[in-house]
Amino acid sequence: MPRTLDGQITMEKTPSYFVTKEAPSRVCTMNCQTKLIVVVRDPVTRAVSDYTQTLSKNPGLPSFQSLALKNSTTGLIDTTWSAVRIGLYAKHLENWLQHFPLSHFLFVSGERLVSDPAGEMGRVQDFLGLKRVVSDKHFYFNQTKGFPCLKKPEGSSRPRCLGKSKGRPHPQIPSEVLQRLRDFYRPFNHRFYQMSGQDFGWE
């Protein structure tokens, strides 16, 4: 990480940190005072989105249900598939809490980041001890993508929107497969709500 002067904040983002077993101890070795922001979303939607992204790069991928289920008759979920495993937030958080106190974490709702980006960004600014600068006036909703985008910054010719890999339409997944996943995740979600002190309302 670059040197940070007083009055500066250095940020870095890597989606895999939260789910990588060795990451908490490595981050703590660097600086145990690090503040950690984790964006989470409904793990079922997250798994389908993960699959959609992989499918775009590898069109020959087997069906979502054949990857998510160990056995279609028993309906057992395959937790070795990364798209499923990543959504076990309580398990990942347990690993991090061995190195960092809960007060060092901010859990940002992926759903609210879409429905109320300024509100969630307000929480981020408060958590980092920053003056609230980013507000509603900085966002507009992009109908094509289905996501909020940042309005055109001064000196820039166009607005900032999420890249091509975001906002893709998801493939149709059989409703019974999605229900099995919801049932599977429910206890993990409730555990995560207890651990984080936040109910994300995923059902």
Long-range Cβ contact pairs of 13-21 (< 8 A, separation 24 or more):
18/92, 18/96, 19/85, 19/86, 19/92, 21/95
Residue with tokens 């790069």: 57
Does residue 132 have a known ligand-binding role? Answer: no
Does residue 49 have a known ligand-binding role? Answer: yes
Does residue 174 have a known ligand-binding role? Answer: no
Instruction: Please give the Cα distance from 173 to 63 (Å, whole number).
Output: 9
Does residue 24 have a known ligand-binding role? Answer: no
Q: Find the length of the chain.
A: 203
Residue 38 phi, psi dihedral angles, 5° rounding: -120, 120
Does residue 15 have a known ligand-binding role? Answer: no
Q: Looking at the DSSP assignment, which residues form a beta bridge with residue 155? A: none
Instruction: Please give the Cα distance from 46 to 200 (Å, whole number).
Output: 14
Does residue 57 have a known ligand-binding role? Answer: no
Does residue 170 have a known ligand-binding role? Answer: yes
Annotated binding site for 3'-phosphoadenylyl sulfate: 41, 49, 166-170
Annotated binding site: 41, 49, 166-170
